Amino acid sequence: MQLEEAFLERLKAGEGLTLKQVLARAKLRPVTIRLANRDIETARKLAARKGIGYQTYIKMLLHEALHRESNRR
């Protein structure tokens, strides 16, 4: 999880933009997806360990996966 780790390190060090600032600059569109309760609970626990919200954590994971897949092609 290179993107996530790099982002969290810079955030903890007080460098760069916060996620809130990055998201404010990005064009966002709300979406609704259905996830298994088990997956949401896992995301909540993992996000809490990192000190971030679970929705933010899920967005970070999705962004990383999309980036990784797009680089495979």
Which pTM value belongs to this model?
A: 0.63
What gap in Å lies between CA 63 and CA 41, rounded to an integer?
A: 20
The reported pLDDT for the residue numbered 5 is: 73
Q: Rounded to whole angstroms, how far apart are CA atoms 67 and 47?
A: 20
Question: With contact defined as beta carbons under 8 Å apart, do 57 and 50 qualify?
Answer: yes
What pLDDT score does 42 carry? 98
Q: Quote the domain boundaries for residue 12.
A: 2-72
The span from the CA of 69 to the CA of 73, in Å, is: 7
- Asked if residue 14 has pLDDT above 80, the reply is no
Distance CA 3, CA 67 (A): 10
| pLDDT for residue 43 is more than 60 | yes
Mean per-residue pLDDT of the chain: 83
Q: How confident is the model at residue 49 (pLDDT cuts 50, 70, 90)?
A: very high
Counting the structural domains of the chain, the total is 1
Average pLDDT over residues 28-54: 93
The DSSP secondary-structure symbol of 27 reads -
